[in-house]
Amino acid sequence: MGIVNIDDELHEQLRRASKVSYRSINAQAAYWIRLGMLCEINPTLSFSEIIGGELRSAGVSAAPLAPSHS
């Protein structure tokens, strides 16, 4: 495992995002790195398409939610 040097502001953003997503700071950084890599190698796909593909490859059924009626 290597060490990645990042500036203080990005580290603070990682810390804040990790709390919201219930991940460790390292897990949040890994998530952002992987997502960034997937976006770069699949520039024509949307975020939803990329996440949907990852969920399907992990065997997760990502059925769309039914619209709510108020």
pTM over 0.75? The answer is no
- Look at the alpha carbons of 69, 49, 63, 54 in this order and tell me if their dihedral is positive or negative: negative
Q: What is the pLDDT of residue 64?
A: 67
pLDDT-derived band at 21, boundaries 50, 70, 90: very high
Cα 20 to Cα 12, 13, 26, 66: the distances in Å are: 13, 11, 14, 25
Average pLDDT over residues 5-30: 93
> What residue segments make up the domains of the chain, in order of their start?
8-57
Exposure string (b/e) for 24-62, b if CB count within 10 Å is 16 or more?
Answer: eeeebbeeeeeeeeeeeeeeeeeeeebeeeeeeeeeeee
Nearest-Å Rg of the Cα atoms of the chain is 15
Q: What is the pLDDT of residue 1?
A: 66
